[in-house]
């Protein structure tokens, strides 16, 4: 198959990493894959650039202007005429552009669109209206990354369950492996969060809960924050104002997330909403117990392997930190269950499921 994947930018996020990892697996299976990034190469983060080079993925940058840019439709037509894909697999804001391009210029390719977050959060209203037309008329096949996301797609777009595919997000189990058992030489407990510094990830709640936990537990708590984003300076200021500068480490974006996960004791994610977070699956694969808010697809994967709190509940989050920090046996037990659960989400299986869906669309 000739498969074209489209994404707005190759920044650092779950959808972007998903596109690159899926492209790698599809290429490994002998399929011809090309990736189109709507914005310029300057928007691609070093982590993604390294993955592109490592995987050998052909990427084209369209240099789109910010906001609604209809001039890009002509550029898309040129690329589609050149590539002649069998499948166009769209992500986030690119779905509507490809739908319009096909309606304007025609094309034999089949369009699939993966929804990486809850449907009501994924797109602006205008884009949702266009995608509703595409889904209803059968021009686009929606794919959910979790049961919670599938339910949200049905609700937002008025679709029946049979109209929405569900292919679970996956983790590269060959890269994210259980950490070697270490002897505890002091009373340090290391928490880790992986995610961009944006409103949805709710770092402010995390810092507030962490500060409260530090005042309650007789352990030396430390927190590692992996990622970057527009709210990073604000969170750094919050850390300083709480007197936590010696306890909170800012790593920034890194291609070596696995190493930091393996050095931690607890993974924490207090997001306002989620689809099926890749970072959480990676943490589970390394054997970490999880503390998280009970939102979206998180409830599908965090059961006996972690503790869930209400969205926005700083006290509940702090109590969960204290609970796991003080109970070594519970952390180890939950960590083992995390590994067992993560095996269900092998990215190789994820890619195979996409191939089955793509082949099915071409043969029907």
Q: How many CB atoms lie within 10 A of CB 174?
A: 10
The verdict on 241 and 329 lying in the same domain is yes
Q: Are residues 40 and 130 in the same domain?
A: yes
**252 and 201 inside one domain:** yes
Between 150-164, 172-186, 349-363, the lowest mean confidence (pLDDT) is in 172-186
Tens digits of per-residue pLDDT, 100-121? Answer: 999 999 889 999 999 999 999 9
Q: Residue with structure tokens 């190493």? A: 259
The DSSP secondary structure of 97-166, one letter per residue, reads HHHHHHHHH--S-EEEEEE-S-HHHHS-HHHHHHHHHHHHTTSEEEEESSHHHHHHHHHHHT--GGGSEE
Does residue 214 lie in a domain region? yes
What is the predicted pLDDT for the residue at 182?
A: 58
What's the pLDDT at 55? 86
- In the predicted structure, residue 149 carries a pLDDT above the cut 60: yes
332, 359: one domain: no
Give residue 186's pLDDT: 63
In a domain, 175, yes or no: no
318, pLDDT greater than 90: yes
Spatial distance between the Cα atoms of 317 and 321, rounded to a whole number of angstroms: 6
**Are 263 and 306 part of one and the same domain?**
yes
Domain that residue 215 falls in: 188-345
Same domain, 132 and 229: no
Mean pLDDT for the chain overall = 93
- pLDDT of 325: 95
Are 135 and 220 members of one domain? no
What is the per-residue pLDDT across 179-238, written as a single tens digit (0 to 9) for each? 876 555 567 899 999 999 999 999 999 999 999 999 988 679 999 999 999 999 999 999
- Predicted confidence at residue 364, as pLDDT, reads 73
Q: What tens digit of pLDDT does each residue of 39-78 get?
A: 988 888 877 888 888 889 999 999 988 888 888 999 999 9
Assign residue 215 the CATH number of its domain.
3.40.50.2000
The string of pLDDT tens digits covering residues 25-44 is 999 999 999 999 999 888 88
**What is the reported pLDDT for 287?**
97
145 token code pair: 């990354």
**Both 302 and 313 in a single domain?**
yes
Shared domain check, 353 and 211: no
Give how many domains the chain has, as a whole number. 2
């Amino acid at each position: 198959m000739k498969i074209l994947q489209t994404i707005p930018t190759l920044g650092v996020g779950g959808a972007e990493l998903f596109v690159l990892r899926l492209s790698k697996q599809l290429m490994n299976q002998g399929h011809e894959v090309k990736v189109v990034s709507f914005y310029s190469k300057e928007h691609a983060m070093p982590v993604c650039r390294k993955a592109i080079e490592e995987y050998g993925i052909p990427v084209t940058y369209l240099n789109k202007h910010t906001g609604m840019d209809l001039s890009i439709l002509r550029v898309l037509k040129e690329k589609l005429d050149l590539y002649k894909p069998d499948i166009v697999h769209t992500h986030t804001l690119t779905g509507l552009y490809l739908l319009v391009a096909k309606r304007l210029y025609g094309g034999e390719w089949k369009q699939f669109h993966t929804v990486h977050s809850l449907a009501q959060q994924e797109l602006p209203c205008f884009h949702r209206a266009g995608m509703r037309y595409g889904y209803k008329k059968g021009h686009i096949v929606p794919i959910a990354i979790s049961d919670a996301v599938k339910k949200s797609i049905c609700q937002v777009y008025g679709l029946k369950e049979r109209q929405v595919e569900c292919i679970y997000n996956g983790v590269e189990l060959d890269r994210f492996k259980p950490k070697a058992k270490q002897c505890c030489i002091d009373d340090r407990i290391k928490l880790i969060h992986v995610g961009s510094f944006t409103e949805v990830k709710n770092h402010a709640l995390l810092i507030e809960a962490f500060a409260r936990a530090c005042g309650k537990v007789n352990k030396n708590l430390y927190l590692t924050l992996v990622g970057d984003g527009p709210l990073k300076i604000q969170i750094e200021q919050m850390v300083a104002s709480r007197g936590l500068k010696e306890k909170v480490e800012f790593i920034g974006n890194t291609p070596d997330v696995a190493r930091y996960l393996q050095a931690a004791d607890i993974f924490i994610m207090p997001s306002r909403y989620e689809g099926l977070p890749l970072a959480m699956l990676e943490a589970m694969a390394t054997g970490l117990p999880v503390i998280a808010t009970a939102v979206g697809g998180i409830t599908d994967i965090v059961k006996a392997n972690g503790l869930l709190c209400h969205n926005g509940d700083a006290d509940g989050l702090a109590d969960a930190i204290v609970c796991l920090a003080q109970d070594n046996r519970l952390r180890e037990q939950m960590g083992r269950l995390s590994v067992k659960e993560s095996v269900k989400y092998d990215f190789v299986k994820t890619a195979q499921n996409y191939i089955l869906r793509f082949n099915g669309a071409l043969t029907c």
